[in-house]
Structures are given as structure tokens and as C-alpha cells.
Structure 1
């Protein structure tokens, strides 16, 4: 058995130790059953444990990524209040992102999950959705091969001019990729349109 690393808890540090990863998000809801159904469908996930007021949901090797809790007297979400704006989930490729978009549209016996916004931010190509409570969810693919290249773009004049991005039609992207007329790399390169404000979603 390997010896445990001895740590000097009083050693001076220039910053707090960062976590190794983000583990999960817990959402309070007054639409418990609808939210459980939505997140299992949206993420292609499974419920690890649930009762009348708690559900733990995962889609990978973590024991849970999303937890839902039905708290008494929970009010509907106020879209104008402070709080979490959205949760983002990353896919490995643009094709995977578009496949998941299509699968969401065609699942649950015709009860489609439709996006509310499709945008190339520059660093990512992203498709946004809303859950039954109105929480925003982003599905994305990185547009650059390295985080350094993405950071370089975010420090550019073009990103400073338009940090919001350029809208796109996922059905058009699917047609273009399926026909072989373009590549993922070409579609992920943002078209510059100049300044733009925050959309009202």
C-alpha cells in the first residue's frame, strides 16, 4: 500500500488549490416529475436513485451529474433575478453535437426537445435549450484544437467587438455535412458580423 502524501496545511500559498473537476449541479424545482423526465431524456441519462422529492441522475462514470430536489413552497423561476444563467455540456465533435440535437427533436414519442438558440460564439459552437423550469442549458463543441488557441481568439479584436457570436441553423449544418460539401472545421470557423447585443431568450 502506497504511503499517503504528507501535506503541510500551513504552508504559504499564492492562491487556493483548484478543484480537480466540477462534480454535479443541484436544481431546486416545483415541477419534479417533469424535470426528472426532461433531464434523463435530454442527457441520455439514467436515474441512480429517486424518491418523492430527490433524484440523482448521471450519464457517465460519475455517480451523479444532476440532482433534482422538490422543496416545499418553491416558487416559479424569476427570469430577472440573479443566479445561475446556464449549465454547459461539451461534445467531442460538431457531428456529435448535431446528432444529439436531432435525437432530442425526435424522441419521447413525439414530445420534442427544441433549441431556443443556436450560435457560434467563436470559442464554441453552441445549441441552447430550456428545461421545464426555464433553466438554460448549453450543448457545445470546442471550435479550437487547444485551449491556448481559444484563449488567443478570446483576446482578439474580433471577439472584443462581438463576444456574443453569430447565429446558425443546425439543419443547414447537417445538410452541408451530409452532402460532403463542407467540413466540421469550416463550419466551426466563425463568420464575423460586427458588434451585436445580448439576445432576449
Structure 2
């Protein structure tokens, strides 16, 4: 009599798991902060984004600046400790502008509030400015340098990007002077190639 107790030799399935349906968009970012930093973070992000308050209570603060009901939230649950800057986790998040002039204007407006970037760089695909919030979270604001995604793909596959995937630094005040002189945005947005570059 044959025993069927051991079914460990079943033929494995060759069917692949289904591909997960892709999200329509990234809806919001929620940042945890210590209670002692809550008011400072609230003011910083409301100013940084020119945003409106969508909701707030003693530990939650939601900001909106477009059609989404909120894009950025600040959360101060009890027991939250300061950020450890060398730990793993989110490196930065990014907001896009439609034109180089808008990016430059946002820089000038933030500067008037005492908010200045820590790094300004033309990555190639984007012209970007990086800021650090009061907790040390990094924020990128950018404008796309190419109109066609295929041009971005070609740049990412180029020898110039292989040698220097970080980009070329720029002075925002010089960028503004070039814009004010009437120079075309597309000319200003071309990355100046500096050869190999290690991590800044």
C-alpha cells in the first residue's frame, strides 16, 4: 500500500506573483518631531512652502499648498527623540517648480525669511537647491532641465553622468543675475561638465 503522507516533493509553481498596481501619485510626507521642536517645525514648513494650515491639534499639523487636502504633516507624538543624523532612513524629499525663474524666486523669498540652501547643484536632469529643516531633514527643490523624458534617459546613460553622478555646484545669486540679464533659461540649465566628482 502506497503512503501519501509525505507531499514534500510537490512540483513548485512556475507562476510569478502579480505585479503590484502602481500608485497614481505620492500624496504626502509626514515628519515626526520632538515636542520641543513642534512650533519651530510648524513655522518653518508653513513659511518654506507658502502653505495654508489644513488641520492642527496639540501634536498634529497638516499643510496644503495645492489641490491635495494636505501635502506635508508635522507630528509630535510623546517620547519622540531628536533625529540621529548618521542613521539609516529617508535622505531627502523633493518639491518641483515649473520654471527656473520660479525656483530662483522661491530662493529669494525664503532668503528674506532667513532660510537659505545648504547646497545648490545642477544634477544634469534637474537644477536643484537643498535645505535642512530645524530637525536636520533635507529638502530638495528643483526644476526639470529637460522637456523630454528620453533626453533624461540619454543623459543618465552618458559618460558625463557616469563620471559625475552628483552634479556641478552653482551660486544662486549668479543664476539670478543671468536670468535678469535676459539669458534663456535653457542655456542656464545646461550642466557645466567638470569631469569626475566624488560624493560632496
Q: Is TM-score (shorter-chain normalized) higher than 0.5?
A: yes
| SS of residue paired to 1:104 | helix
For 2:76, the equivalent position in structure 1 comes to: 70
Aligned equivalent of 2:26, options 10, 22, 31: 22
| SS of residue paired to 1:129 | strand
Show the 5 A alignment for 1:10-159.
15-30=19-34, 31-107=37-113, 112-159=114-161
Distance 2:17 2:52 in 1: 41
| Superposition CA RMSD, Å | 1.4
After TM superposition, the runs of 4+ consecutive aligned structure 1 residues lying more than 2 A away are: none
The offset of 1:13, in angstroms, is 7.0
The offset of 1:175, in angstroms, is 0.8
Question: Structure 1: where are the runs of 5+ without partners?
Answer: 1-11
Distance 2:54 2:68 in 1: 10
Distance 2:150 2:79 in 1: 46
Distance 1:198 1:115 in 2: 18
| SS of residue paired to 1:95 | helix
Distance 1:71 1:177 in 2: 44
CA contact (8 A) 2:178 2:188 kept: no
For 2:10, the equivalent position in structure 1 comes to: none
TM, length-normalised to structure 1? 0.88
The offset of 1:14, in angstroms, is 5.1
Deviation digits for residues 19-73 of structure 1 (CA, Å, limit 9, x no counterpart): 0000001100011111110101000001111011001111101000011110212
